[in-house]
Chain A
Amino acid sequence: MTQCISLQKTTSRRHIFISPAKSFFSPGRAAVLFFVFVFLCVTQKAIGATRYTVYFYNPESNVDNFASLKTRLDVYLKDTGPYQFQPFCDRETFEATIRNKHNCIFIISSWYYKELRDSFPVKPMLVGTIDGKSIQKKILSSKIDINNLMLLKNAGIASAGSEEYTRKYLKSMVGEEYAGVIDTCQILAVPKDIDALISMGFGLVQAALTTEYSLSKLSAINPGLYKKLTILAKSGESLQPIVAVPDANSPEVAKLLEIVEGMGKTTDGRNCLQMFGIDGWQKPGKSEWELLRK
């Protein structure tokens, strides 16, 4: 008997509980909830889609500081809008990622811009500067006893750039006459110019490809080593890293470009730029356009 009552109570409670729930999930309300859900999903997606990215790829530098770069750049950009920073160390991955992307800008090496422009239409907008100078030169230096290019046959050359970049660049520097010598050389890709110069200093490699700026820094910080070096070849003028935008882009890209252009004017922005090896940007002038067209 007791059991029976108890069962009845339970049943009636269940009934009382189910009833309001049924009324809450009425067809009308369910439809409203469904539309709210769909709306939220769509806006969420829209917010995600309007995230603009600064892509970075520089085969002229091997410094693996991407974690620090991303942290600092993301913090800097986040304060200015829905922007983010994405660095790449591998050419194939970079090119696969940027394909068909329009909501972005690129910070790339000026050498790489010339490699990219035929397959991916981009417009250079800004050129990096260091101490107000946008132009750099590369130097192939060696120990004093290797005083001509023929002596580099089978030698090791250290460079802070990727192997592909180093070989192509060296060949353009030494001309057709010595291109064969470069083919016989082994390239040792090191993180920084200073590593390349010091590796040559203690005889690991016979030559180093660095910027003229790094070589002048060496003369100041290690004059003893500098005196033991000789210059084998000097490149023509090239530009510091550049900022480029996809040919087809949205108005928001112009805003992002403005933010990047202004980085040199704030301490935090300048600190970020210095991690790329520059301290400001400028719009390309006549001489810069000439170098970009070459």
Chain B
Amino acid sequence: MENKYPVKITNKGLRRTSAGYKLLLQTLLILSVIVFASDSLVAKGNETVLILNSNLSVKKYSQMQTAFKAHFEGPTVEIDVGSNWFDEKVVEKSLRDTKPGLIFCIGSKAYVLAYKMARDTNIIFSLGINWQRFPLTDKTHVIANEIAPMMELTTFRYILPNVGKVGVIYSKTHNKEWLQTALAEAAEVGVEVVGIPIEKEKEVKAALATLLPTIDALWLISDPVVLAGTERVKEIFTLCDAMKKPVFAYDKLFANFGAALVISADIATMGKQAAKMANNILHDKEFMVKVQNPAGSHIAINVKKLEQYGRPLNPKALSSINEFIEQ
């Protein structure tokens, strides 16, 4: 049989050719394994959440991290940025190595760092006091630190049904919009909210003198002008106590000053909210609310103080109270 091909195929040549095919096949196999592995690595990397914690030694920050991890389904990498000796390069390296699909920031310090280093990444910002003052991107999502006024007002009405008129001192610069929302929602709940605006902290005393005789309770809100320092806070509580007016506060630290009712955000619920938000973002699920208010509340009450001020508690609301302040 005549060979039509210009290349003569010998046994040795055949062996060489088959060895070449084997090599080619092996190379293709290795390449496909590498491509497949790198694909899955990238996919895994994209589902990883980098948790940046502003200070793990702060109780509510560590509670938030624990709650998030308990409810988040994917892998996480955790960095505590709270230490004084913290080196930003740790975050840089982690971002490079893990290429996280999302950064979960607990506290303002963590968010500022994430915004500076990875603003193109999806970010969930939680436990930042007054989140509106921070720069946000299209990829920033927020779990607000503050309970919505509607939740607070409804809780006031439920726990203390005979409190019909509450007073608020606020600075126009920081809380003008908040007060408008609160006034609109108060009308629906059947509570009358009376607000007195101030510009400087020294106006607090005069505002209280006008307000206290006309209201059933003082509603303390997060306002840097009104609550400018411990002495100012002490003064507010002393004046309210003298007039037998209960103070409703938003953080448990005011319990030590004599707050009669504290409604704060429930950290465990916020952790769950953040985990669900992260799962939704990473799996491109329909996502409805980009800025979420805390869905759960933590209620602490000082029964003795309320009795002292003649404000009886609705006994049926006892099952909703998380903590009794004994002071």
Contact = CB atoms under 8 A, between A and B. Distances in A.
Interface of B: 148, 150-151, 154-155, 157-158, 161, 187-190, 266, 268-269, 272-273, 276, 285-286, 288-289, 292-293, 295-298, 315-316, 318-324
Of the four ranges (under 10, 10 to 19, 20 to 34, 35 or more), the interface on chain A belongs to: 35 or more
A198 B154 CA distance: 9
B219 to A, nearest CB: 17
Given A188-B295, A198-B150, A223 B285 contact: no
A270 B189 CA distance: 29
A191 B154 contact: no
Contact of B324 (A68, A188, A202, A225): A68
Given A68-B322, A195-B269, A224 B289 contact: no
A218 B190 CA distance: 12
B276 A158 contact: no
B268 A64 contact: yes
A271 B315 contact: yes
A221 B158 contact: yes
A135 to B, nearest CB: 17
A191 B322 contact: yes
Contacts of B288: 156, 203
A84 B236 CA distance: 41
Contacts of A217: 158
A222 interface: yes
A179 interface: no
Contact of A224 (B189, B268, B321): B189
13 contacts: A191-B297, A195-B269, A198-B148, A201-B150, A202-B150, A204-B293, A221-B161, A221-B190, A222-B154, A223-B188, A225-B150, A225-B188, A274-B315
Nearest to A272: B318
B150 A67 contact: no
Q: Interface majority SS on A: helix, strand, loop or mixed?
A: mixed
A222 B185 CA distance: 9
Contacts of A218: 154
A60 to B, nearest CB: 11
A65 B317 CA distance: 13
Q: Which 4 A-B residue pairs are closest in the complex by CB-CB distance?
A: A224-B188, A277-B319, A274-B318, A199-B295
Contacts of A88: none
A119 B11 CA distance: 76
Contact of A195 (B187, B297, B319): B297
Interface string A254-294: 00000000000000001100111101000000000000000
A221 B159 CA distance: 10
A238 interface: no
Contact of B154 (A188, A189, A194, A279): A194
